[in-house]
Structure formats: structure tokens, C-alpha cells
Amino acid sequence: MNNLETNLQEQIQELTEQLNWKKKLAKIFEDFIDSSYDPIFITDKNGYGFKMNKAYTRVTGATKEQLIGKHMNDLKEQGIISDSISMHVLEKKERLTMVQKVNGKELLVTGNPIFDENGEILYVVTNLRDISTLNQLKIELKHTKALADQYLQELEFYQKKDHIISHDGIVANSDKMLKVIDLVQKIAQVHSTVLLLGESGVGKEIIANLIQKLSSRANQPFIKLNCAAIPKDLLESELFGYEKGAFTGADSRGRAGLFEQADKGTIFLDEIGEMPLHLQVKLLRVIQELEVRRIGGGQPKKIDIRIISATNKDLESMVVRGEFRQDLYYRLNVVPIKIPSLRERKEDIPLLAFYFLKKLNQKYNMNKQLSDAAITQMKTYSWPGNIREMQNLIERLVVTVELEVIDSHHFSFNHQYLTQSLTNEKTLKEVVQDLERAMIMEAMVQYRSTRKAAKALGISQSALVKKMQRLGFQQTDYVLHQ
């Protein structure tokens, strides 16, 4: 073998080694960009797709067959990309960032030019970031801000009502409740008999306390009696008192009844619908004559009292059935005040929730909070037990939930709707409405979308929207993607 052949073989070997090395470099380069979690796309100096990694396909759904070897302007015309960062970089010869859509997906893209030794662009390397999650966070943040603004407005409105919040237990923002407070302030200045009407747990006793506190009798006795809590055979002696020796076991000194003890002040007769008929006659005489006669006594005693009574029953229906005296009903019903249920004053629910939460945090030296989702769920619940139920529920959650933030999943509403509705003497229509409200609320809290919630409930989106409007759902309670 001569020297020429030897040199040629050496050159061939050297070129082969260089080629293998370039192949290795190319493989390392390919492995490098494929190992990147973020999408990478490379175009050549003429704007043709040159290289892309697997992450690019994962995020955008676009394949190599669609992009590699294709000009960016052609891809733009085909609608695969909304714009080309590469073409802008080739034009301006500098790093650029923009929002671009690939296959309809919104992405944040940054194009970096790669220059040769003469300052000419060889390639444009583009990095992509999926901002769909960021956009969803923006939507959630916007919704949270809207809720915060709403609660802030409610709180500011509430704080302006100094004459209301100065009375312990009175939290009112709704028009219906503010009308009740306004009426209470008016009738507190006179001595008319008042009948408080409303479901169990709406706060009838609190309203009675407010009437007494605002009246000219505020510094006089305020006697309270639950007519359903005392055995009927003892109720008469409790109310009217007795003289010594009036009956076996009576105090030898006799005893003043509650009417006498309330002289110059106010007596509050709760659950008045439970008063036996034979005592209704005597109560009527007390109201008409403003005098009371003790059991076993002789002369009646004049008294100066105001009577406030309360009931969760339909006294008019009881009168028709002969269970309540009509003349007594008219005497008690001089100034009727209907206290709305909690589901009728949903604007007050956040304020009441934070009011009870603040008191319980102080009581137990805690710092528990309610999430937006928890407040939303509370606003869509029917509250058959009204304010009393809310207070008891929040206290139970404060002492049993280990986390600092009480969230919607901590509530047991979903399992209680039907049983509570049935035990609250509701009609079939009301029970069905409560069940619908519960299922819709659960679906909306989970999916935050009428379309997805309707699909989960097995009804059309338009039917769901109509039901939500009929059941009193507020559009601001959820992020609704139509």
C-alpha cells in the first residue's frame, strides 16, 4: 500500500469519526430537548419548522408531520397557529415574547434567535408555557374577588346600621328583616300587645328582647315563659300565683305568679299556641281588665304589664278548629310581627355566619375561618331550623373541624335535606323543592358550570338554569360557564 492510499484511508477514517461524532452530538441534542418538560420548537433561518420535542406535542397536540418542514406562514393560514413568533424574531432579530394559540390552545411563547459568527440568524428557538391553568386561576381569582367585594359591601351596609348592630343578636341586612326592625322600633315606644309570628328558630325571643330594651319599660321586670315547657297542671299556678293553703303542697306563704312579677314591666309568653283552653279564658281577662287573681285568692290585684306573645303555629287555623279562642286571638294580635325565615333573608346569611363565628372564636380562643365555598353552600341551603340551626351547626364545626378553614365539604347538608324537610311538616311540593335545591347546589359547587352540572344531573342546561332561577339561586354564587 503506497503513501497515497494510506493518506486516503486516514482521511476517510477521520471523516467517519467526525460524522459519528456529529451523529452523537445530534443524538445528545435531540435527547436534550426531548428531556425538557417545557415545549421547545425550532425553525430555521427561512421560517421552516426544523425541530420540536415531545413536550410540544403533549401540550399543543400538534405533531411533527404537521409542523416539521412546513413554513410558519403556511401554518398560520391553515389555522394551526394564530401567529408566528419565529417570523417576528427573524424580522426584528431580537428575543420576543407573545401570547400565541396552537391548535386553539393559548400559550405564552418566547422566541430566541441563534446567530452565526457573521451576526446572521441560523435558527429561532421557541419556548412555550401553557397558560390555560393561569387563566383558570385568573377566573377563580376574579370570582373570589367578586365574592369578597359582595361580602364587603354587605358588611359596610351592615356597619352603617349602628342602631341595629348595637343590639346583641340582631344581624340584619335584608329588606325584610330591616322592615321588621323598623316596625319594632316604632311599636316599642307604645304599650300595645304584640304577637310575634315565625318558624321555629327565627329569633322571636331576640325580637321580644329588643322590644323590651327599646321601650320605656326597659328598666322594669321582663318575665319570660315558654308555655310548652311547663306541665299544663302547673302552668296556672306559674302564671297567676296562689295564696297560702290554696292546694296540697303549696308554699305556706303563698306565691306571686309571673303576671304579678312582671308588674310595671313586660311578660313574654312564648309558644302561646300551647296554652290550654281553660287558661286562655283567664289570660283574656288579664288582658281586658289588667288584673290578676291568685289561685285560692279573693280580691283581684291590678297590674300594669305589656304582653308579648309568640308562636310558630297558625293561630287562625287553630281558631277555626276550636283549639284557640277567637276573642283571645284578636286581643293578642293587636300588632302582629311576622319574622322571616332564614331562607327568605339570604342576604343575612354571610353576616350571621361571621357574627356567630366571631363569638365562637372568642369563646374558644380559636381563629377558625369560613371559605367562600362554605358561604356559598350556606346561602343555597334551606335552613329548616333557621338561625338556631345555623348557630348550632357553626359551633359544632368550630369545635370538631381540625383545620383552620371550614370548607363546604365539612357540611352534612346533602344527607339531611330530605329528613329535615319531612320532619318540618312541609308539603310534598316543598320537600321536592328542597331536594332539587340540594342536588343542584351540590352539582354547582362541584362543577362550577351549568353545562357540566346539567350533564351530571341528567337534564338540559336550559332546564337547569330555569330551575335555578325558580329556586332563587344567585348567579353571583358561582362561576358559571355557559
Supply the DSSP string of 200-264, one letter for each residue: TTS-HHHHHHHHHHHSTTTTS-EEEEETTTS-HHHHHHHHHEE-TTSSTT--TT-EE-HHHHTTT
Write 113-118 long-range contacts (CB < 8 A, 24+). 113/89
Sign, Cα dihedral of 213, 216, 221, 224 = negative
Cβ proximity of 127 and 109 under 8 Å:
yes
Task: Return the H-helix or E-strand segment holding 112.
Answer: strand 105-115
Task: Return the H-helix or E-strand segment holding 13.
Answer: helix 3-34
pLDDT at residue number 415:
44
How far apart, in whole angstroms, are the C-alpha atoms of residue 313 and residue 275? 12
Dihedral angle of Cα 127, 133, 134, 137, to the nearest 10 degrees: -170
Residues of 454-482 as b/e, b for ≥16 C-beta within 10 angstroms? bebbeeeeeebbebbeeeebeeebbbbee
Pairing verdict, β 301-302 and 291-292: antiparallel
How far apart, in whole angstroms, are the C-alpha atoms of residue 392 and residue 385? 10
Cβ proximity of 342 and 383 under 8 Å:
yes
Sign, Cα dihedral of 320, 325, 326, 331 = negative
∠ Cα 91 94 97 (to 5°):
95
Lookup result for grid cell 281577662: 285
pLDDT at residue number 202:
92
Could you list the pLDDT tens digit for every one of the 482 residues in the chain? Answer: 556 666 666 666 666 666 666 566 556 656 667 777 788 899 999 999 988 888 888 888 888 898 899 999 999 898 888 899 999 999 999 999 888 888 888 888 899 998 888 888 989 999 888 776 666 666 766 766 666 666 666 656 555 554 444 455 678 878 898 899 999 999 999 999 999 999 988 999 999 999 999 999 999 999 999 998 888 888 988 999 888 755 655 565 678 889 999 999 999 999 999 999 999 999 999 999 999 998 877 788 999 999 999 999 999 999 999 999 999 999 999 999 999 999 899 888 988 999 899 999 999 899 999 988 888 888 888 888 899 889 888 998 898 888 899 988 887 664 444 444 444 555 777 667 777 777 777 677 666 678 888 888 888 888 888 888 777 665 444 444 33
Domains identified in the chain and CATH numbers: 12-130 (3.30.450.20), 175-339 (3.40.50.300)
Residue pLDDT, tens place only, 362-412: 998 999 999 888 888 888 888 888 998 898 889 988 988 888 999 888 876
How far apart, in whole angstroms, are the C-alpha atoms of residue 267 and residue 257? 11
pLDDT at residue number 458:
85
Residue pLDDT, tens place only, 151-202: 666 656 555 554 444 455 678 878 898 899 999 999 999 999 999 999 988 9
pLDDT at residue number 23:
60
How far apart, in whole angstroms, are the C-alpha atoms of residue 162 and residue 171? 11
By 3-state DSSP, what share of the chain in percent is helix, strand and coil, each rounded to 5? Answer: 55, 15, 30
How far apart, in whole angstroms, are the C-alpha atoms of residue 356 and residue 362? 10
Residues of 57-79 as b/e, b for ≥16 C-beta within 10 angstroms? eebbebeeebbeebbbeebeeee
∠ Cα 350 353 358 (to 5°):
125
pLDDT at residue number 272:
96
